[in-house]
Amino acid sequence: MTVEDFKNGQVLLIDKPLTWTSFQVVNKLRWAIKKQYHLKKIKVGHAGTLDPLATGLLIICTGKFTKRIEEFQAQQKEYTGTFTLGATTPSYDLETEIDNRFATEHLTEQLIRNTTQQFIGEIDQKPPIFSAIKKDGKRLYELARAGETTQIKSRKVTISLFEITAINLPKIDFKVVCSKGTYIRSLAHDFGIALQSGAHLSALRRTKIGNFSVSDATTIENFLDAIGSDT
Protein backbone atom coordinates (compact mmCIF):
# COMPACT_ATOMS: atom_id res chain seq x y z
CA MET A 1 0.00 0.00 0.00
CA THR A 2 1.10 3.55 -0.70
CA VAL A 3 0.77 6.64 1.46
CA GLU A 4 -2.01 7.82 -0.87
CA ASP A 5 -3.91 4.58 -0.25
CA PHE A 6 -4.01 5.30 3.48
CA LYS A 7 -4.93 8.96 2.98
CA ASN A 8 -7.70 8.21 0.47
CA GLY A 9 -9.05 5.57 2.81
CA GLN A 10 -8.53 1.96 3.76
CA VAL A 11 -10.68 -0.52 5.65
CA LEU A 12 -8.33 -2.72 7.67
CA LEU A 13 -9.65 -5.90 9.29
CA ILE A 14 -7.65 -6.66 12.43
CA ASP A 15 -7.98 -9.69 14.70
CA LYS A 16 -7.64 -7.96 18.06
CA PRO A 17 -5.51 -9.89 20.55
CA LEU A 18 -6.50 -10.58 24.14
CA THR A 19 -5.81 -7.80 26.71
CA TRP A 20 -5.36 -5.07 24.08
CA THR A 21 -7.86 -2.19 24.13
CA SER A 22 -9.35 -1.12 20.81
CA PHE A 23 -7.70 2.27 21.37
CA GLN A 24 -4.27 0.63 21.73
CA VAL A 25 -4.74 -1.13 18.38
CA VAL A 26 -5.65 2.17 16.70
CA ASN A 27 -2.66 3.92 18.28
CA LYS A 28 -0.27 1.14 17.23
CA LEU A 29 -1.42 1.21 13.61
CA ARG A 30 -1.51 5.02 13.41
CA TRP A 31 2.03 5.26 14.81
CA ALA A 32 3.33 2.61 12.40
CA ILE A 33 1.71 4.24 9.35
CA LYS A 34 2.99 7.70 10.31
CA LYS A 35 6.50 6.40 10.91
CA GLN A 36 6.70 4.21 7.81
CA TYR A 37 5.35 6.86 5.43
CA HIS A 38 6.90 9.91 7.16
CA LEU A 39 3.54 11.51 7.91
CA LYS A 40 2.91 14.17 10.53
CA LYS A 41 -0.67 13.01 10.91
CA ILE A 42 -3.13 10.50 9.49
CA LYS A 43 -6.71 9.84 10.56
CA VAL A 44 -7.20 6.35 11.97
CA GLY A 45 -10.23 5.10 13.91
CA HIS A 46 -12.09 1.92 14.80
CA ALA A 47 -15.71 1.02 14.07
CA GLY A 48 -16.88 -0.51 17.33
CA THR A 49 -15.08 -1.12 20.62
CA LEU A 50 -14.04 -4.57 21.79
CA ASP A 51 -13.34 -5.01 25.50
CA PRO A 52 -9.73 -5.86 26.46
CA LEU A 53 -10.81 -9.38 27.47
CA ALA A 54 -12.42 -9.99 24.06
CA THR A 55 -10.68 -10.98 20.83
CA GLY A 56 -11.73 -10.86 17.22
CA LEU A 57 -12.78 -8.57 14.46
CA LEU A 58 -11.92 -4.90 14.72
CA ILE A 59 -12.61 -2.70 11.69
CA ILE A 60 -9.98 0.04 11.38
CA CYS A 61 -10.58 2.94 8.99
CA THR A 62 -7.92 5.31 7.72
CA GLY A 63 -7.95 8.67 5.98
CA LYS A 64 -11.20 9.62 4.25
CA PHE A 65 -12.77 6.28 5.19
CA THR A 66 -13.00 7.40 8.83
CA LYS A 67 -16.20 9.11 7.66
CA ARG A 68 -17.66 5.60 7.19
CA ILE A 69 -17.11 4.54 10.81
CA GLU A 70 -20.73 5.16 11.85
CA GLU A 71 -21.92 3.16 8.83
CA PHE A 72 -19.87 0.15 9.92
CA GLN A 73 -20.78 0.57 13.59
CA ALA A 74 -24.48 0.35 12.74
CA GLN A 75 -24.16 -3.10 11.17
CA GLN A 76 -25.15 -6.38 12.78
CA LYS A 77 -22.51 -8.17 14.86
CA GLU A 78 -21.80 -11.87 15.43
CA TYR A 79 -20.06 -13.17 18.53
CA THR A 80 -19.01 -16.53 19.94
CA GLY A 81 -17.88 -17.18 23.47
CA THR A 82 -18.45 -18.79 26.85
CA PHE A 83 -20.70 -18.08 29.81
CA THR A 84 -19.77 -19.51 33.21
CA LEU A 85 -22.88 -20.36 35.23
CA GLY A 86 -23.15 -20.45 39.00
CA ALA A 87 -21.31 -17.19 39.73
CA THR A 88 -21.58 -13.47 39.05
CA THR A 89 -19.06 -10.61 38.96
CA PRO A 90 -19.68 -6.85 39.26
CA SER A 91 -18.36 -6.28 35.71
CA TYR A 92 -20.33 -9.27 34.33
CA ASP A 93 -17.02 -10.71 33.03
CA LEU A 94 -13.55 -11.65 34.32
CA GLU A 95 -12.36 -8.06 34.83
CA THR A 96 -13.58 -8.24 38.43
CA GLU A 97 -13.64 -11.01 41.05
CA ILE A 98 -16.64 -13.25 41.72
CA ASP A 99 -19.04 -11.58 44.16
CA ASN A 100 -21.81 -14.19 44.45
CA ARG A 101 -22.21 -17.92 43.88
CA PHE A 102 -25.40 -19.80 43.07
CA ALA A 103 -26.68 -23.36 42.84
CA THR A 104 -26.56 -25.06 39.44
CA GLU A 105 -27.96 -28.48 40.33
CA HIS A 106 -31.34 -27.59 38.82
CA LEU A 107 -29.89 -26.82 35.40
CA THR A 108 -30.66 -29.15 32.51
CA GLU A 109 -29.72 -28.96 28.87
CA GLN A 110 -33.37 -28.42 27.94
CA LEU A 111 -33.79 -25.58 30.45
CA ILE A 112 -30.63 -23.86 29.21
CA ARG A 113 -31.61 -24.13 25.55
CA ASN A 114 -35.25 -23.14 26.15
CA THR A 115 -34.25 -20.06 28.16
CA THR A 116 -32.42 -18.56 25.17
CA GLN A 117 -35.85 -17.93 23.59
CA GLN A 118 -36.56 -15.21 26.18
CA PHE A 119 -33.79 -13.14 24.61
CA ILE A 120 -34.65 -13.45 20.92
CA GLY A 121 -36.00 -10.34 19.19
CA GLU A 122 -36.13 -6.80 20.55
CA ILE A 123 -35.36 -6.73 24.26
CA ASP A 124 -34.65 -4.17 26.97
CA GLN A 125 -31.06 -4.39 28.15
CA LYS A 126 -29.12 -2.44 30.75
CA PRO A 127 -25.46 -1.82 29.90
CA PRO A 128 -22.96 -3.01 32.54
CA ILE A 129 -21.84 -0.49 35.15
CA PHE A 130 -18.30 -1.34 33.98
CA SER A 131 -18.72 0.14 30.49
CA ALA A 132 -17.41 3.08 28.48
CA ILE A 133 -20.80 4.82 28.30
CA LYS A 134 -20.62 8.38 29.59
CA LYS A 135 -22.79 9.83 32.34
CA ASP A 136 -22.33 13.43 33.48
CA GLY A 137 -19.08 13.57 31.51
CA LYS A 138 -17.54 10.49 33.12
CA ARG A 139 -17.21 6.92 31.87
CA LEU A 140 -19.38 4.49 33.81
CA TYR A 141 -16.36 2.26 34.53
CA GLU A 142 -14.62 5.25 36.16
CA LEU A 143 -17.59 5.70 38.49
CA ALA A 144 -17.73 1.95 39.19
CA ARG A 145 -14.02 1.72 40.02
CA ALA A 146 -14.43 4.68 42.37
CA GLY A 147 -17.16 2.76 44.18
CA GLU A 148 -19.94 5.11 43.10
CA THR A 149 -23.39 3.73 42.37
CA THR A 150 -25.39 5.12 39.48
CA GLN A 151 -28.69 4.41 37.79
CA ILE A 152 -28.37 3.11 34.24
CA LYS A 153 -31.24 3.32 31.80
CA SER A 154 -32.13 0.24 29.78
CA ARG A 155 -32.01 0.43 26.01
CA LYS A 156 -33.67 -1.44 23.18
CA VAL A 157 -31.43 -3.94 21.40
CA THR A 158 -32.23 -6.74 18.97
CA ILE A 159 -30.90 -10.28 19.19
CA SER A 160 -31.67 -12.24 16.03
CA LEU A 161 -29.77 -15.41 17.01
CA PHE A 162 -28.86 -16.84 20.43
CA GLU A 163 -27.63 -20.39 20.09
CA ILE A 164 -26.00 -22.68 22.65
CA THR A 165 -23.22 -24.52 20.84
CA ALA A 166 -21.82 -26.63 23.72
CA ILE A 167 -22.71 -27.41 27.33
CA ASN A 168 -19.97 -28.45 29.77
CA LEU A 169 -21.32 -27.14 33.07
CA PRO A 170 -20.61 -24.75 34.58
CA LYS A 171 -19.48 -23.47 31.17
CA ILE A 172 -21.69 -23.09 28.12
CA ASP A 173 -20.56 -21.96 24.67
CA PHE A 174 -22.75 -19.73 22.53
CA LYS A 175 -23.18 -17.88 19.27
CA VAL A 176 -25.06 -14.55 19.18
CA VAL A 177 -26.06 -12.31 16.29
CA CYS A 178 -27.20 -8.91 17.51
CA SER A 179 -27.71 -5.23 16.80
CA LYS A 180 -25.41 -2.31 17.53
CA GLY A 181 -25.30 -1.45 21.22
CA THR A 182 -25.80 -4.99 22.52
CA TYR A 183 -23.61 -5.92 25.49
CA ILE A 184 -22.83 -9.64 25.56
CA ARG A 185 -21.73 -9.20 29.19
CA SER A 186 -25.22 -7.96 30.05
CA LEU A 187 -26.71 -10.87 28.12
CA ALA A 188 -24.61 -13.25 30.24
CA HIS A 189 -25.79 -11.57 33.45
CA ASP A 190 -29.46 -11.52 32.43
CA PHE A 191 -29.28 -15.11 31.19
CA GLY A 192 -27.98 -16.16 34.60
CA ILE A 193 -30.89 -14.39 36.29
CA ALA A 194 -33.37 -16.13 33.98
CA LEU A 195 -31.77 -19.49 34.83
CA GLN A 196 -31.74 -18.65 38.56
CA SER A 197 -28.11 -19.70 38.57
CA GLY A 198 -26.11 -16.52 38.04
CA ALA A 199 -23.66 -16.21 35.13
CA HIS A 200 -20.79 -14.16 33.82
CA LEU A 201 -18.97 -13.86 30.52
CA SER A 202 -15.70 -15.79 30.57
CA ALA A 203 -14.67 -15.65 26.89
CA LEU A 204 -15.76 -13.54 23.91
CA ARG A 205 -14.77 -13.35 20.26
CA ARG A 206 -16.33 -11.08 17.62
CA THR A 207 -16.55 -13.07 14.42
CA LYS A 208 -18.48 -10.76 12.09
CA ILE A 209 -19.54 -7.16 11.52
CA GLY A 210 -22.03 -6.97 8.67
CA ASN A 211 -20.40 -8.79 5.76
CA PHE A 212 -16.91 -8.50 7.25
CA SER A 213 -15.54 -11.68 8.84
CA VAL A 214 -12.68 -12.30 11.25
CA SER A 215 -11.58 -15.09 8.89
CA ASP A 216 -10.48 -12.31 6.52
CA ALA A 217 -8.72 -10.33 9.25
CA THR A 218 -4.98 -10.10 9.86
CA THR A 219 -2.97 -9.82 13.06
CA ILE A 220 -1.31 -6.59 14.13
CA GLU A 221 2.10 -8.21 13.56
CA ASN A 222 1.22 -9.28 10.03
CA PHE A 223 -0.08 -5.82 9.18
CA LEU A 224 3.16 -4.23 10.41
CA ASP A 225 5.16 -6.72 8.35
CA ALA A 226 3.02 -5.98 5.27
CA ILE A 227 3.85 -2.26 5.36
CA GLY A 228 7.49 -2.96 6.20
CA SER A 229 7.31 -1.48 9.67
CA ASP A 230 9.72 -2.54 12.40
CA THR A 231 7.62 -0.86 15.09
Q: Annotated catalytic, 51? A: yes
- The pLDDT value recorded for residue 31 is 95
Does this model's pTM top 0.75? My answer is yes
| Burial classification of residue 177, based on how many CB atoms lie within 10 Å of its CB (0-12 exposed, 13-18 middle, 19 or more buried) | middle
Helices (H), the chain: 3-8, 22-37, 69-73, 109-115, 140-145, 184-195, 220-226
pLDDT at 10 over 90: yes
Q: Any idea which of 83-97, 128-142, 163-177 has the lowest mean pLDDT?
A: 128-142
Query: Are 46 and 135 members of one domain?
Result: no
pLDDT exceeds cutoff 60 at 23:
yes
What is the number of other CB atoms lying within 10 angstroms of the CB of residue 75? 16
Q: What pLDDT is stored for residue 143 in this prediction?
A: 55
Q: Do residue 169 and residue 221 come from a single domain? A: no
> Do 108 and 184 share a structural domain?
yes
- 102 and 173 part of one domain: yes
* Residue 231 forms part of a structural domain: no
Peptide bond preceding 128 in cis form (omega within 30 of 0): no
- Residues of the chain with pLDDT > 70, as a percent, come to 90
Query: Are 22 and 42 in the same domain?
Result: yes
Q: Which pLDDT does position 129 carry in this prediction?
A: 78
Asked whether the predicted pLDDT for residue 139 surpasses 60, the reply is: no
Same domain membership, residue 81 and residue 180: yes
Inform me whether the pLDDT recorded for 140 exceeds 90. Answer: no
Q: Is residue 193 part of a domain?
A: yes
From the candidates 51, 173, 225, 230, give the one annotated as an active-site residue: 51
Confidence class for position 2, pLDDT limits 50, 70, 90: confident
Assigned domain for 218 exists:
yes
Q: Please check the confidence at residue 16 and state whether its pLDDT lies above 80.
A: yes
112 and 91 share a domain? yes
CA dihedral (121, 122, 126, 131) positive or negative: positive
| 142-189 residue pLDDT tens | 655 666 666 678 899 999 999 999 999 999 999 999 999 999 999 999
How many percent of the chain have pLDDT more than 90? 80
pLDDT at 231: 61
The predicted structure's pLDDT at residue 151: 65
The count of structural domains within the chain is 2
Stretch 2-27: mean pLDDT:
94
Domain of 24: which CATH number?
A: 3.30.2350.10
The boundaries of the domain holding residue 91 are: 77-209
